[in-house]
Amino acid sequence: MARIIVVTSGKGGVGKTTTSAAIAMGLAKKGHKTAVIDFDVGLRNLDLILGCERRVVYDFVNVINEEATLNQALIKDKRCDKLFVLPASQTRDKDALTLEGVGKVLNELKKTFKYIVCDSPAGIERGAHLAMYFADDAFVVTNPEVSSVRDSDRMLGILASKSQRAEKAETPIKEYLLLTRYNPARVKLGEMLSVEDVQDILSLHLLGVIPESQAVLNASNSGTPVILDEQSDAGQAYSDIVDRYLGEDKPHRFIDEEKKGLFGRLFRS
């Protein structure tokens, strides 16, 4: 049975697209056929993060308008043959998306894919609403600061009341918390909310913490999902998240400041 995952947050710039790309790649690497859809029509980014921007011919809106078939628009990833990308249109806006159109595309994808990751745009308007409407699971991406937490809370309210599952009174969307750009040192100084603070406000199942990392920016710039950088802390954190989502029991990492040994302190660059 295919599952639709929405990666959402309310607030912009917290790491939705980075997370979508990493999670989709992670699931595909595990052998699951995965599609990742960019719902940010007009502000197309996902293809850049996944490094397939030069292979975009048709897009999501073309498929909805039946100007292209789904197979024509899906871009197969060069690094992993289980991963497919459906890019957003850059020349249109969110009004080009319709509920029926999105539903039709997702239903067709469900026939052949195991996981469908929907990269939601920021905000709570049309694009974000359509991205989450058909979802089974929601990854709520939050930064450890108050405005991001508030917006995530708002988004959780919308997930609980305006999704298809809510409207049909089915089992509600399963919600997971992903805390991104976490910096234990700044938490210790009281400059950032801690995992406990955020959990206290959102009361949500924590799927993982992604540390603030230079690797994320490098990965974005080079068009490689950060999960492929197995040496980096952020890459490992995303791998953990994929494992936990698939049911593995992995202890949380990157929550506490790394203790530096004597040599670490001496040879710190």
Partner 1 sequence: MPNQSSSPALPAFEFKSSVITVPVLNIYTTDINSFSLQLREKVKQAADFFKNSSVLIDLQNVQDQDLNLALLLDAIHNVEILPIGIRGGSEAQQQSAKKIQLPIFNIPRVSTEAAPAEKSPKPVTPSATTNQSSEEPQNNTINTLVTQPIRSGQRVYAKGDLVITSHVSAGAEVMAEGNIHIYGALRGRALAGVLGDENSRIFCTDLQAELISIAGNYRISEDIEDSYKKTPVQIYLDKQALIIKNT
Residue whose CB is less far from partner 1, 156 or 216: 156
Residue whose CB is less far from partner 1, 24 or 202: 202
Helices 195-202 and 146-162: crossing angle, nearest 10°?
A: 30
Q: Under the criterion CB under 8 A, does residue 157 sit at the interface with partner 1?
A: yes
Q: How far apart, in whole angstroms, are the C-alpha atoms of residue 112 and residue 141? A: 27
Mark the segment that binds partner 1 (CB under 8 A) among 42-50, 166-174, 179-187, 235-243. 166-174
For partner 1, the binding residue among 104, 110, 154, 186 (CB under 8 A) is 154
Q: How far apart, in whole angstroms, are the C-alpha atoms of residue 71 and residue 76? A: 10
DSSP labels, 194-251: -HHHHHHHH--EEEEEEE--HHHHHHHHHT--GGG-TTSHHHHHHHHHHHHHTT----
Q: Under the criterion CB under 8 A, does residue 150 sit at the interface with partner 1?
A: yes
Q: How far apart, in whole angstroms, are the C-alpha atoms of residue 89 and residue 69? A: 15
Q: Under the criterion CB under 8 A, does residue 56 sit at the interface with partner 1?
A: no
Mark the segment that binds partner 1 (CB under 8 A) among 60-68, 107-115, 151-159, 181-189. 151-159
State the minimum distance, in angstroms, from the CB of residue 173 to partner 1.
Answer: 11
- Cα-Cα-Cα-Cα torsion 260, 225, 158, 134, nearest 10 degrees, comes to -140
Q: How far apart, in whole angstroms, are the C-alpha atoms of residue 181 and residue 177? A: 13
State the minimum distance, in angstroms, from the CB of residue 157 to partner 1.
Answer: 3
DSSP labels, 96-154: G--HHHHHHHHHHHHHH-SEEEEEPPSSSSHHHHHHHHT-SEEEEEE-SSHHHHHHHHH
State the minimum distance, in angstroms, from the CB of residue 78 to partner 1.
Answer: 41
Q: Under the criterion CB under 8 A, does residue 203 sit at the interface with partner 1?
A: yes
For partner 1, the binding residue among 200, 256, 257, 258 (CB under 8 A) is 200
Mark the segment that binds partner 1 (CB under 8 A) among 21-29, 69-77, 160-168, 183-191. 160-168
Q: Under the criterion CB under 8 A, does residue 31 sit at the interface with partner 1?
A: no
Residues 164 and 129 sit within 8 Å (Cβ to Cβ): no
Residue whose CB is less far from partner 1, 9 or 220: 9
For partner 1, the binding residue among 107, 161, 214, 222 (CB under 8 A) is 161
Q: Under the criterion CB under 8 A, does residue 160 sit at the interface with partner 1?
A: yes
Q: Give me the phi and psi of 9, to 5 degrees please.
A: -160, -25
Site residues for partner 1 per CB under 8 A? 150-151, 153-154, 156-158, 160-161, 166, 169, 172, 200-203
